[in-house]
Amino acid sequence: MKLRTYSSEGIVLSRKNYGEADRILVILSKNFGKLSLLAKGIRKIKSKKRGSLEIFCQIKFSAVNGHGFDIMTEAETVNDFAGVRVNLNKISLAYYFSEVVNKITHEDGRPSTVYSLLSTALNELEEETELKKLRMKFIYDLLTEMGYWPVNKKLLDADIVLDDVLERKINSIRVGKAVLQ
């Protein structure tokens, strides 16, 4: 049985405008896995939630069950990863992380260990200088965590394995590869 109202911590993976002032957010939550939530009125100038709900922001949120989408009622920023947002290379890698996690996970309502993996990667990204190494480590950790790659086996070409697993191309890969080489 699904709870009528629920709260959790999560990371915004993507967003899409919906209607005149609303936005659909895809969030990887700590307790409920991947969720699609409707943030009503978020695009209005006077909206208080507006700054909290940017891509790859870590937030605390509350939501209620709706008929179509669950509706976000509250949101508070835990970490906006300001150190990432000042560097174009780091921003492109953070978008890459978000896109990969969004495509490899499913909305099933179960807690996911991928949340802590993504949170750790974004925290490391703020201080990291070797972005290519961090990117490869993230892909390896994600593939092993999800069961797509054996633990302790060397991953030679992570991009090919990731494309095979996802069965589609990653849009942000072009930016990530160009910046990281």
- What are 66-118's pLDDT values in tens digits? 888 899 999 999 999 999 999 999 999 999 999 999 999 988 877 778 999 99
Q: Which tokens is 124 given?
A: 């490391």
- Domain boundaries defined on the chain: 5-79, 82-180
Give the CA distances from residue 111 to residues 27, 149, 175, in Å, rounded to whole numbers and listed in that order. Answer: 12, 21, 31
How many angstroms separate the CA atoms of 129 and 43, rounded? 35
pLDDT in tens, 45-64: 777 666 678 899 999 999 99
Predicted TM-score (pTM) of this structure: 0.87
Architecture field, domain 5-79: Beta Barrel (2.40)
